[in-house]
Amino acid sequence: MLSVGQRKLGAIVGAAVADAASQPLHWNYDPVKLAGIIGDREEVEFWEPSANPYYCIETGRQSCYGDLAYVLLESFSHCKGFNLEDQKERTYKFFGPGSEYDDELNKDYKWKSGVGKNFPIKGPWKQFSMKHFLKRVEEGQAKTGSPTDEQMDSVAKIAPVVAMFAGEPDMLEKVEDAIRLTQESDTTVVLGMAAARIIEYFILNGPAPGEEAVRAAMGQLEDTHRNNPQDLDRAVVTFLREVLEKKNTPHQEVARNIFRFD
């Protein structure tokens, strides 16, 4: 049995490896085209050559989401704790002007406008919430998170936060602060904190069936005395219940027909 400390490290490393493993096939939205790329291959991790339609970087590198987690981890290491101002400064430097994320084609890309004729760009992709964050920092605004972006940044980047504060009463407060740095949407925040509860369960309790961890998170979200309550917590419980009901349905069917995001 691994120690809690070892499981914390495993959460961080596991999230980083998963992000890098999926990066070369990232953002392939057309299932027919994707099937044409991977064929009948069952192992598609660390795909080479890159088949990412939006950006092309070396296989094994992090996506923008993994890089967000890296910046958080770097800040924790440097500050020996949670320092939101340091996170802001490091995030701006890592993704901002003069960085390898500073690409003109990416900069001019409009939300949901599809794959451009000059894509994939040769370099990492700066996502919508990061563009908003950079603009707000440059304007000197106190709130830097996007109020409309509801993508998966909030879930993908939080493993270092949960690992550092797992078991502490202010863990969710720290998670919320880290999420709101680049995403201010309440929906995004509540989903990120639900994911944080699931990750924390595994860190504190060790190996367990996924359904057990999800049900434990649902129980916390329904607890009237829960830490860091949010108005949308009950809605997330309903959503997670539906996920469990569909857990034996093939993924592609669920993604296309039940939990479709347009």
Tens of pLDDT, residues 166-196:
999 999 999 999 999 999 999 999 999 999 9
Which regions in the chain score pLDDT beneath 70? 111-113, 260-262
Counting every residue written for the chain, the total comes to 262
Fold assignment, 4-258: ADP-ribosylglycohydrolase fold (1.10.4080)
The mean pLDDT value of the chain amounts to 94
pLDDT at 112: 67
Assigned token pair, 158 = 């939080």
Condensed to tens digits (0 to 9), the pLDDT of residues 40-79 reads: 998 999 999 999 999 999 999 999 999 999 999 999 999 9
pLDDT at 262: 55
Assigned token pair, 256 = 């296309």
pLDDT at 31: 85
Assigned token pair, 86 = 């340091």
pLDDT at 111: 67
Q: What is the pTM of this model?
A: 0.93
Only one residue has tokens 């959460």, namely: 11
Q: What is the 3-state secondary structure (H, E, C) of 61-90?
A: CCCHHHHHHHHHHHHHHHHCCCCHHHHHHH
- Per DSSP, the three-state class of 23 is helix
